[in-house]
Amino acid sequence: MHMKRPDISIVLPCHNEAEILPFTALTLWQQTLDVPENEVIIVVNGSTDDTLKIANSYADERTRIINVPTAGKKNAMNIGMLAAQSEMVLFLDADTFIPPQAALKSLEALGSNNTYLVGAARAPFIDKKKLNIDFPTTFYALHHARRAATITHSTVQGWFMALNKRAFGEDFAFPMGASADDVWLSAYTGTFHGSDKVGYLETITGSYVAPDNITDMTSQTMRHRANHLIVNQEHPELSEFFDKLNAHYSGKPENHEAWRDSALKLGIDFDGWIDRYNEFNAKIDRDIRESNYVAELLAMNGLWERIASTKRV
């Protein structure tokens, strides 16, 4: 292991991510060029595919593998944060590729202006040739354009996220509960110290891989949408944040134009796809209202299940 404390610890929680993990790993090793003293902690939580086997193949003097028998993103993040030897911890998902200098920029942000938490946006890793025929890819690209067109909020959106765990205190942990959504985690974490201690890395963007079939996309979208509803039950102090977010999405006409412009820059035929996007969102909302999905997520108490990842590059 390290002879001295690393400057930053990178925590990667992953479930069934055998297809995508090798590509994510490449982006992690790039960080060594900018921050030589770093460590990587891969927390494999409840995997039923070859994720653990692949993760173990990366184990070396600066990469630790922790196997957790049960699924649960926040539990995996807490385990990784506890194991981190550095006070500065960067979290990312296994389907998120962080660009060069991500670790360095996070360190710089956390070391300036008394900032305790920083986050960055993520853009879809897309093949533009597929946008006219592949609904899952187009949906997530359009969804990203919608988020990218929003105003700057006091709490961090997007993924990845880095924090100073010393500043948060030894007792800090991501709360167990059903919500595993990235925006929710950032909003929750940001409430600990207020907006003046939260930073947003607008100059650096990660990339993520969208699901490649309608079944996986529907499952992921339902879970994310239900999590926003659960916020009001679990943590009412965050409801104001999401109320403002939702009000902005459906608000002024100029916001719609900013969304359209962002979509066009991604190569999306906004006018041709917006009806399909809205129809799918409406169906997800109806399915959630007419089912026990929210109650089922709450009953899981922080553990969640999904089909094996179909994400590939």
Confidence band, pLDDT 50/70/90 cuts, at residue 179: low
Give exposure, 68-84, as e/b (b: 16+ Cβ within 10 Å): beebbbbbbbbbbbeeb
Confidence band, pLDDT 50/70/90 cuts, at residue 222: confident
Share of the chain above pLDDT 70, in %: 89
Quote the CA–CA distance of 191 and 168 in Å, as a whole number: 11
Predicted pLDDT at 190 = 78
Which residues, 6 or more positions from 125, have their beta carbon under 8 angstroms from its beta carbon? 97, 207, 208, 209, 210, 313
Name 8's bridge partners.
Answer: 38
47, two tokens: 């995997």
Q: Are strands 96-97 and 198-208 parallel, antiparallel or unpaired?
A: antiparallel
pLDDT of 152 over the 70 cut: no
Predicted pLDDT at 275 = 93
Predicted pLDDT at 3 = 56
- Per-residue pLDDT tens for 63-92? 999 999 887 788 899 999 999 999 999 999
Confidence band, pLDDT 50/70/90 cuts, at residue 221: confident
297, two tokens: 């997520």
Predicted pLDDT at 157 = 62
pLDDT of 255 over the 90 cut: no
| Count of all residues that appear for the chain in the document | 313
CA distances from 1 to 5, 10, 43, 70, 189 (A): 10, 15, 17, 26, 30
Predicted pLDDT at 129 = 82
In this prediction, residues 180-196 reach a mean pLDDT of 74
Q: 260, exposed or middle or buried, with CB in 10 Å at 0-12, 13-18, 19+? A: middle
Share of the chain above pLDDT 90, in %: 34
Poorest-pLDDT segment among 90-99, 143-152, 167-176:
143-152
The residue assigned the tokens 């167990």 is 176
The count of other CB atoms within 10 Å of the CB of residue 175 is 12
Which residues, 6 or more positions from 39, have their beta carbon under 8 angstroms from its beta carbon? 2, 6, 8, 9, 10, 62, 63, 64, 84, 85, 86
Distance of CA 241 to the CA centre of its chain: 17
In this prediction, residues 179-198 reach a mean pLDDT of 75
Which residues, 6 or more positions from 15, have their beta carbon under 8 angstroms from its beta carbon? 44, 45, 46, 47, 51, 71, 73, 94, 306, 309
- Per-residue pLDDT tens for 159-172? 788 999 999 888 88
